[in-house]
Amino acid sequence: MSKQRIAALFGRPDALKATPQDPEFWIEEVRLLKWFSPDPAEQIRKPITFQKGLNIIWAPSPRMDQREEINFAGHAAGKTTLCRLLRYLLGEQNIAAPGVKEAIEDNFYNGWIVGKIHVLESTWIVARPLHHATRPRARCVRSDSFDDLLGHPEKTLSIDDFHNELTAVTIAPLPVKLFGDGIAAITYAHVLEWLARDQECHLTKLHAFRHTDSKAGSPDLSAEASYFLQRVILNLADPDLQEAIADCEKLEKKEKAIPDEKTYLLRREKELNRHLERTSIKHERAPLFSEIEIVIARKDTNQQEEKETQNTRDAIKMAKEVRTAIRSKLASLQEQLGAIKANANMAKGAMNDAQETVHALNGKEINWEIEKEKARKLPPSDFCRVPRHLAKECNLFCEWNVLSENEENAEELLARQKREAAKSFGLSKRNFEGLDTDRKRIEKEIKSAESSATRIDKKIESLEEKLRNLRVPFGTIRTTIDDLEKVIEKLEILRKRETELKGKVEEAKALQEKLQRAHKRTEDLFVDEYGWTVAKIFGGKDTTIKCRFTREQITTKVSYLGKDLTSSAVNALAIFCFDVAAMAFSCRGRGFHPRFLLHDSPREADMGEAPYGRIFDLIIEQSKEKPNFQHIITTTTNPPEEYQTLPYLRLKLDSSESKGRLFNQDL
């Protein structure tokens, strides 16, 4: 819905017959006090009075020809501080921006600001302390006399009573009481933000009411919420539209949340697929699993587990068979080793005896008496006594060493005994060495068999451990498959929900646009009011405006001779005109603007004097008859000469000297 208006073709809408008689609220008088006292001597400066209609706060800046005499003026005189104090009096939390706030508190520790404020037919005296530590934080009474509050502070009412009355006149008439989300309530504090913009915002954006540097303590408003508030106050919203906007915002919020959730699920799907690739359940080059592959994956997992279990059991069985064979062989070797050790011990004894005999015969002579004694111990006489040279021819020949004095002499006998002893020692030694070699071989075989048995035991233990723990890795695989199945199911649900939400959002937007079109008549009337206002300020039939109301925002453009004007000054003027048009719309019986405006130095540096002067002409034109609004505007640029005195000029400040400042001194 957009409208283009040219002043020469479209006139200002007629006012309704039933127009409001007074602003919803307006400020009549403000006093700055050193102490909470009715004594005029405690006033920091003379009371500042205001009227319905135009109120100018002027701090003249020096002319070019005064550059030698005046170093600084116009700025830092207290215009913005006064605006902040008025906002503070009307319910804002803080009295000034950081730095200025501390300076005021340091110089006026016990100071107060007191104002007479009209709320429709009621009159209130409201006081608030200048120092943040002062208690109570506010005092007020229903009265038109300052003395009723300053002289009798014990009779004060709760500041909530005053705020409730402000809420009643600003919020109660609104057809919509909640923001577009359908949850947050529209409050008087929100409305005040638009009525009295921060000077720091410099009228740069239509929705910019508060700047972070001002530290006003006002509720935070997003751009969308600010636009919504303006539509509500202009009567371009109703409960059905609000409900449609709220429904649409909720659906869009859900729709916006889907991509994040979807991205997470898709990432999770890939992670689980990669895990299954590492377990060989899924081939690396295969596409991502679907519901069908999940069933196959479970079957493959069961088969793989059964196969792995059977393979492990077969390996255990084979290892046990090998272990049994090794143990059997080990037992046989142990038995052989025992026999060999026994034989070796006997062989070693024989060898030692033979060794002793050899040692005994070496270097000794035969003792015949001993030999005879030995002879007597020989086997019985059934052995023949045939001489050797004859007996050797006998088949039964068995030589026996029978010593005979006639057979051999002693030397031959000794030599023969030595030879026989040496031969016996050699035989016994070879027999022992052979048995010892066998012993070492068998011991080596036993050691090898024992080592093999140990390895087999460890292998069996490892296989049995693997068999016991085989469920763990396959349990992890099954868990992964279960998780993947859930992810796939969620993705499918999410895709369906995404499609459904897209359709619902489109339907909700269509309904919202339909309801917004129902406001076409009111919107057209406001656009005409705004176009007329812009034409009055910019001057001439060649000025064209475009004003478009959408669900998310309000856009305005000013063109001259078909070309868009985009300078900061033009933008500031366009926003100023929007504010004035909104107030005038209500003054003429339409919309719900409280008909109070506070503009702090709206002129930009490159704004020409002619359009700036027409601002004041426009405001005066609005109040030719009995004014039903209050517009307070501060300026450093000289207003038109005819407005530089009462009743329009309410306060003139001068920062070139201490007495000319708001607090009559340097802070």
Q: What is the reported pLDDT for 3?
A: 46
Read off the tokens for 44.
């920091």
* Dist CA 470 CA 464 (whole Å): 10
* Dist CA 251 CA 247 (whole Å): 6
* Dist CA 103 CA 107 (whole Å): 6
Question: Taking the CB of residue 198, how many other CB atoms lie within 10 A of it?
Answer: 24
Q: What is the reported pLDDT for 8?
A: 40
Strand partners of residue 546: 4, 557
Sort residue 177 into left (φ over 0), alpha (ψ -120 to 50) or beta.
alpha
Residue in 524, 612, 540 with CA at minimum distance from that of residue 576:
612
Kindly tell me the number of DSSP H helices and DSSP E strands found in the chain.
15, 13
DSSP code of residue 157: B
Query: Residue 42: how many CA atoms within 13 Å on its side-chain side?
Result: 15
288-323 residues labelled b (16+ CB within 10 A) or e (exposed): ebeeebbeebbebbeebbeeeeeebeebbeebeebb
Supply the DSSP string of 8-34, one letter for each residue: TTSPPPPPPSS--SS-SEEEEEEEEES
3-state secondary structure of 203: coil
H or E element at residue 253: helix 239-278
Cα 478 to chain center, whole Å?
A: 32
Give, rounded to a whole angstrom, the gap between the first and last alpha carbons of the chain: 51
**CB–CB of 551/245 below 8 Å?**
yes
- Measured over the CA atoms of residue 331, residue 336, residue 340 and residue 343, the dihedral's sign is positive
**CB–CB of 554/227 below 8 Å?**
yes
**In whole angstroms, how far apart are CA 271 and each of 279, 284, 293, 480?**
13, 12, 16, 10
Q: SS3 breakdown of the chain: % helix, strand, coil, rounded to 5?
A: 55, 10, 35
DSSP code of residue 185: B
Please state the length of the chain: 667
* Dist CA 113 CA 100 (whole Å): 15
pLDDT in tens, 607-657: 678 888 899 999 998 887 789 999 999 998 889 999 999 999 999 999 888
Tell me, letter by letter, the H, E, C secondary structure of 35-51. CCCCCHHHECCCCEECC
Q: What is the reported pLDDT for 9?
A: 43
pLDDT in tens, 96-131: 999 999 999 999 999 999 999 999 999 999 999 999
* Dist CA 29 CA 26 (whole Å): 10
Strand partners of residue 633: 56, 599
**CB–CB of 550/7 below 8 Å?**
no
**CB–CB of 615/637 below 8 Å?**
no
* Dist CA 243 CA 250 (whole Å): 10
pLDDT averaged over 10-residue windows placed end to end, the chain, 667 residues: 44 86 96 96 96 95 58 72 97 94 95 97 97 95 96 94 96 91 91 95 91 92 94 86 79 84 86 84 80 82 86 91 90 89 85 81 59 57 54 54 52 78 84 87 90 91 85 83 88 88 88 78 91 86 84 85 75 92 94 96 70 90 86 93 94 90 92
**CB–CB of 636/63 below 8 Å?**
no
